[in-house]
Homo-oligomer: A and B are copies of this chain.
Amino acid sequence: MKKIVVGQSGGPTSVINSSVAGVYKKAKELGVEKVYGMVYGIEGFLEENFIDLDDYLSNNDNYELLKRTPSAFLGSCRYKLPKIDGNEDVYEKIFSILDKYEIDAFFYIGGNDSMDTIKMLSDYASSHNKKQLFMGVPKTIDNDLPITDHCPGYGSCAKYIATSLKEIIRDNASFSKNRLTVCIVEIMGRHAGWLTAAAALAKDDTCEGVDAIYLPEVVFDVDKFIENIKTLSETKSSIVIAVSEGIQTSDSKFVCELGSEDRAVDAFGHKQLSGTASTLANIVAKETGFKTRAIEFSTLQRAASHIASLTDINEAELVGEKAVEEASNGNTSMMVTLNRSDDNGYNCTTSVYDIHNIANVEKKVPLEWIDNENHQMKEEFIKYAKPLIIGELQPIFKDGLPVHLIR
């Protein structure tokens, strides 16, 4: 491989840039001449909007800063490739650009939708006798990619959620029982409850944890929810509850839709969700008379690199390196996966897997890990998630604020 290109796609994470760092690092180790970054993913690629990563990352200080920089350094997109049949012009354009820049391999860092891009491009290459290689690098706070044990981005988001909940739980408990506040915290995750489940990690020696957790994997019953709060209020002076933005009632309505009917739809046809916590807070206030508070972690949870997990940063770098290593061996149409071994404490290695078994498949939280009766996560989940939030990479501060690397 002489020249390669790397892009970022979909929603950013705190560590998505560590995967760019890993791709660059391994490529340079292997003697790759040129590492292009596509600005704004495949959308920017189509406009030949490239940068030369040497201009930013040949300096080791910048490399270290990149690993501490949130959001997509290269810019991202939500562009879905059309089906090949009837849209050959789009694909021909992509391959003509690859040819023009003499690019041998294409690396795409992203989640389910982005892995579909890798699948489509490698399918086209295969059926049209193109020589370029296509590798997927996993990234999603949602942790919903199949095959891989977990996804880079998840650990840092989980760490932010657990840290913030510990702080919120303390804040909410400031006042005595005669000022009971029910605090409902909304966490990202449309269909898979991995992030909401991470609320369970807040419980430790110095924190009683959240009082209930509601995942999208389980049908949400508003009446039972109110009953649970009433029961909790009999013994507690502070109630904090974690809910997924994606919880649905038995008639498949999102809870946030109970508040208003019209919701926008994003480029992939997903409904825009928000307001689950505030919808529930309003219902609880009305039904119980308790003071309520709604908190939405919103984009903070995926952007708070100042409290990122070092384990996650390292693994994000590792999957980037692995993708380049595999491509240099001629592999294509694959996504890098993380494989866990718990033999001597937590240990993680990488391998690759056929992209066709990965693209567009969503991995949900196993139902047997959910304690439905107590609305908590079982020990299996804690054991799974806890190692992923370990370690810190102290930000580089200047004048009291973390420094980032900018394009």
Contacts and interface: CB of A to CB of B under 8 A. Distances in A.
Interface of A: 11-12, 40, 43-44, 69-72, 75-78, 159, 162-164, 166-168, 170-176, 178-179, 183, 201-202, 204-207, 264, 267, 274-275, 278, 285, 291, 293-296, 298-300, 302-307, 309, 386, 389-392, 394, 397-406
Contacts of A12: 170-171, 174
Contacts of A394: 394
Given A206-B406, A305-B167, A400 B159 contact: yes
The 6 residue pairs across chains A and B that have the minimum distance between CB atoms: A71-B170, A389-B400, A167-B303, A171-B303, A40-B176, A76-B174
B175 A303 contact: no
B171 A299 contact: yes
A259 to B, nearest CB: 11
Given A305-B167, A390-B400, A401-B159, A71 B173 contact: yes
A163 B300 CA distance: 11
A327 to B, nearest CB: 25
A68 to B, nearest CB: 11
A72 B404 contact: no
A284 to B, nearest CB: 13
B295 A171 contact: no
Contacts of A406: 206-207
A294 B168 CA distance: 20
A295 B293 contact: no
Contacts of A267: 179
A298 B300 contact: no
A397 B162 CA distance: 12
Contacts of A403: 205-206
Contacts of A401: 159, 162-163, 166, 201-202, 204, 389
Nearest to A44: B176
Contact of A306 (B70, B78, B163, B178): B163
A167 B293 CA distance: 24
Nearest to A404: B206
A175 B76 contact: yes
Given A293-B299, A296-B296, A176 B392 contact: no
B204 A167 contact: no
Given A71-B173, A400-B309, A168 B299 contact: yes
A297 to B, nearest CB: 8
Of the listed residues A159, A291, A400, the one surrounded by the most CB atoms of chain B closer than 10 A to its CB is: A400
A11 B179 CA distance: 13
Nearest to A386: B399
